[in-house]
Amino acid sequence: MAQVDIPAPHGHLEGLLWMQESPRGAALVCHPHPLAGGNLHNTVTYRVAAAFRTEGYSVLRFNFRGVGTSTGAYDSGPGELEDARTALDWLEHQVPDVPLAVAGFSFGARTALELAAVEPRVARVLAVGMATRLFDLSAAESLHQPVAVIQSLKDEFASIEDVRALVSRIPHARLFELADADHLITGKQREFDAICARAVHWLLETS
């Protein structure tokens, strides 16, 4: 794993890159809310990255503006979407000519979905912890790429009924439900690893 410094319009973004010798693809992973302690070291973000790495993908995690050593300041969503696009551009340059995937947890899931909605380069999307009570996630309904969603059944920031309804409106999506888990996957890391491995495998194998 290498620490990387990604040039950005506001300065730079701090990142960590897992590089494969012969990658079958490249994945960008977005962390949860910057104002709630979210950063690239978040355990769910790390576990999502590890699942893509196991499938042979090179993986970039990065800190949004104002987090860690990334320059800039929190921008309520639009600036963070710009950061994700900047990071995707950089990742594509580092790992050219392979399929691109984006993933995210909570706030990062919203960012990943919005990025995929405006970036035809994105071939696959993984959203973990859709916080339907906090964020407008309607961008997901415009996606035609394969989309995998992992949702805890006891998530404080979403009802599973709302998430099921949203997933049903995404043309090519599959929902993976995690029983007896809260938004932060407290005490359910092993179970999350297993369902995340299934979700990522489905995502990369489906057409």
Total structural domains within the chain: 1
On the 0-12 / 13-18 / 19+ scale of CB atoms within 10 A, 163 is buried
Percent of the chain with pLDDT over 70: 100
| pLDDT for residue 90 | 98
Q: Does residue 207 surpass a pLDDT of 90? A: no
| pLDDT for residue 150 | 98
DSSP 189-207: HHHHHHHHHHHHHHHHH--
Residue 54 DSSP one-character state: H
Residue 202's closest CA among 146, 121, 151? Answer: 146
Quick: pLDDT tens for 1-53.
899 999 999 999 999 999 999 999 999 999 999 999 999 999 999 999 999 99
Residue 115 region, left (φ>0) first, then alpha (ψ -120 to 50), else beta?
alpha
Quick: pLDDT tens for 60-103.
999 999 999 999 999 999 999 999 999 999 999 999 999 999 99
Please report, for the domain that includes residue 165, its CATH number.
3.40.50.1820
- Give the range of the structural domain holding residue 10, as residue numbers without chain letter: 2-205
